[in-house]
Amino acid sequence: MRLMIEDDWNQQQSVACVQKVSNQNLSDVARQLTDHDQEFVRNTAQTLVINLIGDEDPGKIEEFALSDNWQVRERAIQSLSRSTNRAAIAILKKQVEAYPEDYVLVLRAIKQLGFGKGLELAFDGLKSEQANVQRASLETIEAITTEKHAVNVRDNILWNLPVLTNEMREFAKMLMSQITRDFDLPDIQIDEQSNTSTGVVDLPLFGDATASLRPANVSPLDLLRPGEVWMDRYHIKEEIGRGAMGRVMLAEDDMVDESLILKFMLPELTVDQQSTERFKREVKYARKVSHRNVIRVHDILLKDGVCAISMEYFNSRGLEAVLKEINFFETVEGLKILHQISGGMVAAHEQAVIHRDLKPSNILIDDKWLVKIVDFGIASAGTAAEATLTQTGSIIGSPAYLAPERAEGSDADERSDIYSLGVIAYYMFSGKLPYIGKPMEVLSMHRAGDAPPIMKINEEASPEVSKLIVKMMAVDPKARPQSMADVHNEVKELLDRLELPEEIS
C-alpha cells in the first residue's frame, strides 16, 4: 500500500521494509521485473535481486555489474564486496574493463574482499593517469599485502614509480618503507633499470624470479664512477644521491675550476620523449628563479645518450638532518630560517613557479645558517604527474607535507606551497610532524586538519608563531594566507617585534 504512494520517501521506506523481510522466493519474482518499463519498479527489482543473490553463486550478479545503469553497477559492486567467493574478483575485473570510470569503486570492493588475487587489478590501476585511481590502488595494495607476496609487491611498486603522479609517488615510497619494516625485508636502493621506454615493468606478482626481467647490460651511467671524466670536462668526485629516475653526483668543472652538481637522468628514460621533455622543463623553470635562497641551475647537458642538469654546489645539509640534531628551533633562530625559505619562495612565485614538493629534504642549510631551496624544476614543470629526482640516496619519501587539495588530485597554486611550508614550520618549532601514520592514513589526517597545537608539544613555542602556522595549515586554501609574500612579511613583522639587532632584509 505504501508503494502505491507516489512519494519518494514512502517508496524508499517500503522497499527497505520489503528487503528486510524478503527471501529467495522474492528474489526470483523480482528478477522477472528487472527490465520493467517503469524506472522505479525496474530499479527496485534490480536492487532486491542484487541484495538477495546467494554468496555461493556471485556469477548471477555479473549481468548487473555490466549494466548500462551506473546505479545498478554500484549496487552490484557493493554486493560483490561482501562476498566470500574469489570468483567476485573476475567479475570486478570485467566491470573495470567495460566501465573504467568505476575503477575506484571496484578497488574499494577488492580492498574489502581482501583476496591476494585482487593485487593484479590494483597494480593495473597504478598505470592510470588519474590520481584518484592511483591513490585507491595504493590503498588497496596496502590493505591486502601479505608476507607471501611482500617481496613481489614491493618490486612492483618500485617499477611503477615513474608513472605515478608526484604526490602518489611519495605515498608509494612510504608504502614500500612500511612493507620493508612490516615483513622484515632487506633494504633496497632504486638502481634497477627498466627494459621499456616508459620506465615501467610488469613484474609477475606470484612468480618466483623477478630478477630475470632486469636487463643484464650495463648502463652508460654506471660507468661514471668517482675518478671518471665526463664530456672531457667534468671530473666525477662522488655520488651523493639517487632517485626513481636519476642519480646525483658531485663533480669538478675543469673549465672554470669549480665544484658543481650533476643530476643525471637514467639513460633508459631518455628514449621516452615525455620524460626528456620533463628534464628540459626542469631547466626552463628552475632558471627563472634567481635568489640567494634558491639553488642556481646552470644548463642541460647531453652526451652519448646520457643527459644531466648542472647546478650550483652548496656545501650543506638538509633541514631534516638539522632538526634531528637539535630537536626544534628556538623562536628567533627558527623565524630566521623561515624568513629565508619564504623569501626564496616569493621569488619563485613571482615567476609563476610553484614548487609542489616543498619539504625539509629540499631545504639545505650551511654552517653559517644560509638557506637554499632545491628541486624547483621538477616540481613546477607543468602537471602533477611530473617526476621527482630525490636529493638523497633513500627511496623513502613522505606525504607528510602534502596539501589536502594536492592529495585530492587538484593542481597546485601558491597556497599549496604555503601549506607545505606550514607543516615544515610546525616541525621546526615543535620537533614533531603534525600527522604520523600509515601512508593512506596520513592523507585523511591532512583532510581532517586536527593537528595538535604546537604549544601542547613544545611549551616554549611562541603563541604568535603558532597562530601563523595554524593559518598556513588551514585545510581550506581560502583560509590560508593568499600569497607567499604575505607569509614572508608576517614573519618579518614577528622578527621586528623581537627587536633583533641585525637587519632583516
Q: How far is CA 89 from the centre of its chain?
A: 26
Residue 426 CB: number of other CB atoms within 10 A?
29
Amino acid at 246: G
Q: What is the mean pLDDT of each run of 10 residues along the chain (505 residues)?
A: 70 71 62 66 67 58 77 79 83 90 91 89 89 89 90 87 79 85 74 35 36 46 84 91 73 92 74 60 78 91 84 91 92 96 95 87 93 71 33 41 80 90 96 85 86 90 94 95 96 84 51
Q: Which domains does the chain have, with CATH numbers?
A: 2-197 (1.25.10.10), 221-312 (3.30.200.20), 317-497 (1.10.510.10)
Look at residue 500 in the predicted model and tell me its pLDDT.
Answer: 53
pLDDT of residue 178: 85
Output the pLDDT for position 381: 40
Say how far apart CA 322 and CA 360 lie, in whole Å: 9
Output the pLDDT for position 204.
Answer: 39
Q: At what angle do helices 150-160 and 119-126 cross, to 10 degrees?
A: 20
What is the value of pTM for the model shown?
Answer: 0.60
- The amino acid at residue 71 is Q
Which element (helix H / strand E) includes 65? Answer: helix 62-65
Backbone angles phi, psi at 317, to 5 degrees: -140, 160
Residues in the chain: 505
Name the packing angle between helices 70-81 and 39-52 (round to 10°). Answer: 10
205 φ/ψ angles, rounded to the nearest 5 degrees: -65, -35
Residue 144: strand, helix, or coil:
helix
CA separation for the pair 160, 165 (Å, rounded): 11
The confidence score (pLDDT) of residue 224 equals 80
Q: Which residues form the catalytic set? A: 357
Cα dihedral 500, 344, 439, 447 sign: positive
